[in-house]
Amino acid sequence: MNMILLGPPGAGKGTQAQRIVRSEGIVQLSTGDMLRAAIAAGSDIGRKAEAVMAEGKLVSDDIVVGIVAERFTMPDCANGFLLDGFPRTQAQAEALDEVLADAGLKIDFVVQIEVDEAQLIGRIGGRFSCPNCGAAYHDKFNRPEVDGVCDSCGGTEFTRRPDDTAEAMTVRLDAYNTETAPLLPYYKARGALVTVDGMAEIDDVTRQIMAVI
Which residues are catalytic, by number?
13, 88, 127, 161, 172
Give how far the C-alpha of residue 144 lies from the chain's centroid of Cα atoms, to the nearest Å: 21
98: left (phi over 0), alpha (psi -120 to 50) or beta: alpha
Distance CA 21, CA 208 (A): 15
Q: Treating both helix axes as pointing N-terminal to C-terminal, what angle do 202-212 and 13-24 enclose, rounded to 10 degrees? A: 50
Distance CA 148, CA 9 (A): 24
